Amino acid sequence: MKKKPFVTLEKLKEITKEYPTPFHLYDEKGIRENAKALKEAFAWNKGYKEYFAVKATPNPYLIQILQEYGCGCDCSSLTELMMAKALGCKGDDIMFSSNATPANEYEYARKIGAIINLDDITHIDFLEKVTGSIPKKISCRYNPGGLFKISNDIMDNPGDAKYGMTTEQIFEAFKILKSKGAQEFGIHAFLASNTVTNDYYPTLAKVLFEVAVKLKEETGAKITFINLSGGIGIPYRPDQTANDIRVIGEGVRKVYEEVLVPAGMGDVALYTELGRFMMGPYGALVTTAIHEKHTYKEYIGCDACAANLMRPAMYGAYHHITVMGKEDAPCDHTYDVTGSLCENNDKFAIDRKLPKIEMGDLLFLHDAGAHGFSMGYNYNGKLRSAEILLKEDGSYQMIRRAEKPQDYFATFDCFPIYEKLTEDAEK
């Protein structure tokens, strides 16, 4: 089975004349259509808001597109908070969901008025100590433990996750927070990653809605929002069926009316923190085949490597590959598609059936729009590549330049060696 790239070979050749591979390419049209569909799917909930998971694709140009559809920012670090603020987000536009949080990050989150989502009950005293008080609006992250199942299928094991409070802890946390002046409460949970089923959100929602009702009854807390977090996945493999966000939204609505409305909580706002779903399918890593090797296996060496897309090396994750211009050619060759890192796991594909690849062919690695560029790193002195936006009208724009050697050496600028290191880079 095949996946269709969102760009033609002709357009890629045009882009590569100006910007050499490798680079990440994003599809503005796809991003906009998806954001619009999400907004419509949850339009039935008056307070609904999507907080885009900045960690997935931390590029201001892309986040600004989502802001046009009412999206805020889900941040988990100081620099992500700073980016959100620079983009004009303020107060309730920002959700700060972090763990093992340094003091200065809580201080900054309070300074810009972000909604703080506490990961652990011990963070209550820590937050109060470092910022001087507990905010009037606050959220707690919930982890029910055990296995998370949909029907008889095990989706994930929250009990092994480092995130969130136990059932007993979240009830105690609400009581403590209320005694310290909190007036509005939220609940957050992330129980499974990259689910490709329309049942995940409705099932998660039922768990959270039922806990919310009990929390209101037992603690008297005013719960104003419930955050379903992320977890809606994408079909990385061509034989997978994509989630239908409208079916998902309708499934959540039914549970909302079954659980929350009868409990007098029909005004509770729903939030989501989607990253992969918002950007994953609308970004790709474009790389050029530059070497071939014939030993015990057939290898194709690319000018990209795991520093540009870590997921296959880190998780064994599947990313579909299209050899541009050979979309209809038979996949009658078996290759390991590799990068140039001094690590044997630097492979984008292992024993992958592909058309015959010639040197100079452009390879399009699908579904790299989330957790692609953002997970990049500089091992082996590799430099992060550019990010380019393919606009709706067919034009394109560089939205992040490629790193230069000067960038790699920049943190030595306070030492005498810096001038020698950058001497060649400046030539």
Distance (Å, whole) CA 79 – CA 105: 9
Determine how β-strand 115-118 pairs with β-strand 94-97: parallel
Which positions ≥6 away from 218 have C-beta within 8 Å?
Answer: 171
DSSP tag of 77? S
> 33 Cβ partners below 8 Å, 6+ apart?
none
* Helical segments of 374-416, H only: 405-409
Compute, in degrees rounded to 10, the torsion defined by CA atoms 195, 374, 62, 193: 10
Enter the tokens of residue 35: 């954001």
Bridge partners, residue 51, by sequence: 72
Report d(CA 155, CA 367) in Å as an integer.
21
Distance of CA 148 to the CA centre of its chain: 21
Cα 182 to its chain centre, rounded Å, is 30
Instruction: State yes or no: is 302 an active-site residue.
Output: no
Enter the DSSP assignment of 142: B
Q: Using CA atoms, how far apart are residues 134 and 128, in angstroms rounded to an integer?
A: 5
| Structure-block tokens of residue 245 | 């966000």
Please write down the HEC assignment for all residues of 89-107: CCHHHEEEECCCCCHHHHH
Distance from first CA to last CA of the chain, Å, rounded?
48
* Residues 6+ positions from 202 with CB-CB distance below 8 Å: 248, 251, 252, 254, 255
Q: How far apart are CA 222 and CA 293, in angstroms?
A: 64
Q: Return the bridge partners of 333, or none.
A: 354
Classify each residue of 213-246 as buried b or exposed e, where b means 16 or more C-beta atoms within 10 Å of its C-beta.
bebbeebebebbbbbbbbbbbbbbeeeeeebebe
Catalytic site positions: 342
